[in-house]
Amino acid sequence: MTATAQDRAAAVPASEQLVARIRELQPLLAANSAQGEQDRRVVEESITALSAAGVFKVAQPRRYGGYETSMRTMLDVSAAVGEADGGTAWVVTLCNVCAWLTGLFSERAQDDVWAATPDAKVSGVLAPTSESVKVDGGFRVTGKWFWNSGSWHADWAVLGIPIVDDAGDPVDQGLALIPRSDLDLKETWFVAGMRSSGSNCLIANDVFVPGHRLMSVPPAIGGQYATERTEEKLYRSAFVPLLALVLAGPQLGMGRTALDIVTAAAAKKPISYTFYTAQADSVAFQLQLAEAAMRIESAHLHAYRAADDIDRAAAAGEYPDVLARARVRADTGWALENVTRAIDILLSAHGASSFAESSPLQRIWRDSAVAARHAVTLPAVDYEVYGKALLGRADQITPLI
């Protein structure tokens, strides 16, 4: 290892250190959460503080000053931010996972993003909602990509495009790295929850994408990436499992905070129209609290099992088989279903005051509910994928496993 490489390795904080840094910022993140929701974007003060703490470096290659950590650390970081604000956690999560995606591209493409601007952030949408024209040296791309979380803060975007032949016929599905300066932004994010995620529409009008900034998706699903740096463990992680599981991180943090708020209030909050002067004295409340806590614990156990499976395989240079990858999708769906159900129980146990605009519980409830409906993490779909894999059936419903 060279001296420079040794210095970079020494500068990488442990997961516990990153979480500790975030915990110091939680009062700031929480204080800015209402303004972020109103503005439909995370307050820049929060983004600046998180950037200074290295929170956006967890999935960036060390070659560019990143931390190049692990799936487990990505969950821990997102959850710690989620304890303070779900929308901010969602932006952190999506920017980090898009940094990981960027690390799968060729080194030349990665240099375009980070060599001159190591703090560059990336947003992204995988759906190929665009048109492509093959030209010398690459493609000209026109299209719209909705729900680019973190769109206000990103310097680049990784976006799905169709790969076409000379006749214009689709022959492949690709991901393209495009500078944010080449894209227009339309504000389209008017929603009930996750308002501060700024998940707007990015628009390309005849934008040239050179061939080295393209990556084919079908081989990536099977673990064949464009990066030449095959020694970098994080970028050997399973494609779809990581993309799905990372979305559980904010939910874990929101669930923990909801439980803390309801538990802390129980000793002094009465149950209206009963003789209970404290919720804590009620057996019915105790049962609800216990069920919510167990569901949140179950979410953590499944999410961390899946993260460890991803990290272990990447470290060993092994690509998980279809059954193992399908189980990660099921673990993700199970985690989300249990957190959202736990939050519902907690709000019912806490009472109607949960829904006061001044209560952080109502924002947690809305943010969690919206985030849990991401198409890649829908529990029923995830369970069907896993059930078919368990049975060895050939009629899978998606290639995204």
Mean pLDDT, residues 126-154: 97
Q: Count CB neighbours of 291 within 10 A.
A: 15
Contact present, 289 and 349 (Cβ < 8 Å): yes
Q: What is residue 3's predicted lDDT score, i.e. its pLDDT? A: 41
Mean pLDDT, residues 88-115: 98
Judged against a pLDDT cut of 60, whether residue 241 lies above it is answered with yes
The burial of 401, by beta-carbon neighbours within 10 Å (0-12 exposed, 13-18 middle, 19 or more buried), is given as buried
C-alpha distance from residue 56 to each of 49, 94, 98, 368 (Å): 11, 10, 10, 22
- 122-221 homologous superfamily: Butyryl-CoA Dehydrogenase, subunit A, domain 2 (2.40.110.10)
- 3-114 homologous superfamily: Acyl-CoA dehydrogenase/oxidase, N-terminal domain (1.10.540.10)
Mean predicted lDDT score pLDDT of the chain: 96
Residue type, 58: V
Mean pLDDT, residues 5-24: 83
Locate the domains of the chain by residue range: 3-114, 122-221, 237-391
Residue type, 132: S
CATH number of 237-391: 1.20.140.10
170-179 and 214-216 strand pairing: antiparallel
The predicted-structure confidence for 278-318, as pLDDT tens digits, reads as follows 999 999 999 999 999 999 999 999 999 999 999 999 999 99
Residue 257's closest CA among 362, 175, 332?
Answer: 362
Q: Would 122-221 and 237-391 be classified into the same CATH topology?
A: no
Q: What is residue 2's predicted lDDT score, i.e. its pLDDT? A: 46
Residue type, 200: N
